[in-house]
Chains A and B, each alone.
Chain A
Amino acid sequence: AQTVTQSQPEMSVQEAETVTLSCTYDTSESDYYLFWYKQPPSRQMILVIRQEAYKQQNATENRFSVNFQKAAKSFSLKISDSQLGDAAMYFCAYRTNRDDKIIFGKGTRLHILP
């Protein structure tokens, strides 16, 4: 069965600094997608970034980028120039194309220190 593991329950970073959130996953599939979602206190789920497994190039969205290591089954999120508004829960998610099952990690709570 597929699993998603986020090994850091909480992290803190100084405002304007860079932080990396870890995510590993376990799958026997070759065709899948990976996502990072942000959940602020409002509990709204907001997509941060996504990566197709067949693409070797790491996805980037403004201050957010990923380090996708397919062989190692690793999908870390880097946030550059951290801002107070980045404080939230961050969830890593995996979607298989075979049966559209989408599963999430347990999340990492990110604190931004002013």
Chain B
Amino acid sequence: DGGITQSPKYLFRKEGQNVTLSCEQNLNHDAMYWYRQDPGQGLRLIYYSQIVNDFQKGDIAEGYSVSREKKESFPLTVTSAQKNPTAFYLCASIDRNSNQPQHFGDGTRLSIL
């Protein structure tokens, strides 16, 4: 079955370290997204990418970076510049040429040690 795989499920980071969250999809979707979820804040858009080698900042991009070298992969790096990285991170994708909703991964919970 096609879907989105996020790994790892739980991730711990020491202060001052960069960490990369993986997101892979085998749905052949063009567009991919990263969201951050905090209690009471809903899902906030970090970055999204409509096509390979292109991406746009969302509403809370500061302290994060992404790459889109392959259609199926959209990794998110949480840099040391992100002062409050503890959160639940969700990756999603869509087929840009349809009205279908987003497919979501199961998420990664990032915590600071």
Contacts and interface: CB of A to CB of B under 8 A. Distances in A.
B50 interface: yes
B110 interface: no
Interface residues of B, number: 26
A100 B41 contact: no
A44 interface: yes
For the complex, would chain B's binding face be called helix, strand, loop or mixed by DSSP majority?
strand
B31 interface: yes
Interface residues on A, range: 20 to 34
Contacts of B48: 100-102
Interface string B69-113: 000000000000000000010101010100101101011000000
Contacts of B94: 95, 100, 102
Contact of B106 (A35, A44, A106, A107): A44
25 contacts: A9-B40, A35-B101, A43-B37, A43-B107, A45-B90, A45-B104, A47-B101, A50-B99, A52-B99, A91-B43, A93-B102, A95-B94, A99-B56, A100-B48, A101-B56, A102-B45, A102-B102, A103-B59, A104-B42, A104-B43, A104-B44, A105-B42, A106-B40, A106-B41, A106-B42
Interface of A: 6, 9, 33, 35, 37, 43-45, 47, 50, 52, 91, 93, 95, 99-107
Interface of B: 31, 33, 35, 37, 40-45, 48, 50, 56, 58-59, 88, 90, 92, 94, 96, 99, 101-102, 104, 106-107
